Amino acid sequence: MPTVCLRGGCLTGPNHAAAELHGFLAFLAYAVRTGLRYQVVGYKGKQARDNLHAFDVCTAIMAFAERPRPAAVYNLGEERGNSVSMLEAIERFESVFGRKLTWEYMDEPMRDDHICYISDTRRFRGDYPGWSPSKSLDAIFEELADQGRA
* Total of domains in the chain: 1
Amino acid in the structure at residue 99 = R
Q: Residue 138: give its domain's CATH number.
A: 3.40.50.720
Domain that holds residue 64: 4-149
pLDDT at residue 82 greater than cutoff 90: no
CA distance 44 to 87: 8
Distance CA 89, CA 124 (A): 27
Q: What is the per-residue pLDDT across 26-62, written as a single tens digit (0 to 9) for each?
A: 999 999 999 999 999 888 989 888 899 999 999 999 9
List the beta bridge partners of residue 86. Answer: none
Which whole number is the average pLDDT over 103-108? 91
Q: The whole model's pTM is what?
A: 0.87
